[in-house]
Every structure is written in structure tokens, then in C-alpha cells.
Chains A and B, each alone.
Chain A
Amino acid sequence: DAKTTQPTSMDCAEGRAANLPCNHSTISGNEYVYWYRQIHSQGPQYIIHGLKNNETNEMASLIITEDRKSSTLILPHATLRDTAVYYCIVRVYRGGADGLTFGKGTHLIIQP
């Protein structure tokens, strides 16, 4: 699985869009970009994933650059409950068949 680089921490004002970057310059053609988050004292939660097209669901949007070497997770209207550690994971899609490799992630703090 390709290595990812994320900022250690970020702040965002409540109600604004939170944009979390992830660098994955060594990504290969069959690897997907996944995002999970871990709210304090809870298990990680799946957010979204994509291959090369931009994706949107009820939680977030995922923007992947054309060369696929980086991506951005967007939380359109951040709330205090979005304060969490966000993990960007790059891996081949295996439909849940094997475990995940977590990096250090970005600690997103939503400020009131």
C-alpha cells in the first residue's frame, strides 16, 4: 500500500468548510484513496473512498487530483462533532478482505 503524508493538525471554524489534504505521490493505478476518522474514545469510522473521480456522500466530498498524487477531504459545514483524527489510507480495493494500515492522521479541531 502506498505511503501517505498528512498534516499533524488543523483548525477550522465551526460552520466553515474543512479541507484536509493528503499526499500520496507513490500511488499506483489500482489503489484507492480511503478516509476514516476517529472521534475521541470511539472506534474509527469510514467516511468515503475513491479511485480517480471526485466522490461525494452525505458526510463529505473527496477531491482527487488528475495525477492522483494528492487528494483533499472536504467537510462542507464543519460542526464541533467533526473534531477527530482523520486518516487517509491508500490501498488496493479488497472489499474488506484484509486489515487497514493507519498512519498518524490529521487531528482536526473545530473551533466554536
Chain B
Amino acid sequence: SAVISQKPSRDICQRGTSLTIQCQVDSQVTMMFWYRQQPGQSLTLIATANQGSEATYESGFVIDKFPISRPNLTFSTLTVSNMSPEDSSIYLCSVGIQGTSSYNEQFFGPGTRLTVL
């Protein structure tokens, strides 16, 4: 298993500004992911955070809007740039555990609740 923490837990931001969300894992993991959950909706995968290389983005998400860093195997950041009210969502970090006997495939952080005014 893995314990994941995110900072900040919530924030209220003004439109046009940027916010960087941090994700910290208590053990080294290969795969880290970022998701968005818009109000009343399900989760949507934003990107895979690759250690030592550029993130892999899903359709509809671009690096200029959601730059991601992954400097090591326990930490990643997601920046929401030039925010608008439509970016108001919960942003979640998750990690994938490969090949464990427990087959617990992915663990999720508690999320960061972002409100853009």
C-alpha cells in the first residue's frame, strides 16, 4: 500500500492566477497520475507523471495549462495555470503499484479542492 498526502487541501484563487498542488508519497513508486473531478462528476485522468521525463497528457489536457513535474519517485506537482472558474474542481493524485501480491492497483490522495472566483 501507499500513503499519499496533498498540499494544499483546499484553496480559493482569483481568475488568471496559477496554483501548484503538491503530491507526496511515503514510498518510492513507479507510476503517478493526476485526476480532475469537476463538481458532481466522476474522475477524469489528466496525465501520467513520468519521473525524469515529460508527463503524458490525456486528450483534452495540455502541458501549458497543466504543467507537471516529477523530480523523484516520491513527489510530483501539478500546476493549474491561468485559472478560470471552469477550473474549479477537486484535483487528485494517485499512484500505481506494479506487481504486488495484494493486487491493490492504485491508491489515491485525499484531493485538493480548488475554487476559482
- Complex Cα distance, B30 from A16, in Å, reads 40
B67 within 8 A of A: no
Chain B residues within an 8 Å CB radius of A95? 96-100, 105
Q: How far is the CB of A48 from chain B (nearest CB, A)?
A: 9
- Nearest to A105 among chain B residues (CB) is B42
Give Cα A46 to B95, complex, Å.
12
List, in ascending order, chain A residues with CB within 8 A of B68's CB.
Answer: none
B residues near A99, Cβ cutoff 8 Å: 33, 35, 45, 48, 58, 94
Stretch at the interface among A18-26, A37-45, A66-74, A75-83: A37-45
Q: Is B44 an interface residue (CB 8 A)?
A: yes
Contact bitstring B91-117, A, C-beta under 8 A = 1, else 0? 010111111100111111111000000
**Does B63 lie at the interface of the complex (its beta carbon under 8 Å from any beta carbon of A)?**
no
Is B31 an interface position by the 8 A CB rule? yes
Q: A43-B92, A46-B105, A103-B42 are in contact. Are A97 and B110 (CB under 8 A)?
A: no
B43, chain A: closest CB distance, angstroms: 4
**B111–chain A nearest beta-carbon distance, Å:** 6
Contacts of B99 in A (CB 8 A): 95
Question: Are A97 and B58 neighbours in the complex by a CB distance under 8 Å?
Answer: no
Q: Which residues of B contact A101 (CB under 8 A)?
A: 45
**In the complex, what residues of B have CB within 8 A of residue A103's CB?**
42
Tell whether, in the assembled complex, residue B105 and residue A34 are in contact, meaning their CB atoms are under 8 Å apart: yes
Are the C-beta atoms of B105 and A45 separated by less than 8 Å? Answer: no
Check A102/B33 contact, CB under 8 A, given A43-B94, A49-B105, A96-B97: no
B44: chain A residues at CB < 8 Å are 102
Residue in chain A with minimal CB distance to B41: A104
Structural contact, A97 and B108, CB atoms closer than 8 A: no
| A102→B42 contact, CB < 8 A | yes
Question: In the assembly, what is the distance between CA of A95 and CA of B94, in Å?
Answer: 14
Q: Which residues of B contact A (CB under 8 A)?
A: 4, 30-31, 33, 35, 42-45, 48, 58, 92, 94-100, 103-111
In addition to A42-B110, A43-B109, A99-B35, 5 A-B residue pairs with Cβ atoms within 8 Å of each other are A44-B106, A85-B42, A96-B30, A96-B97, A97-B98
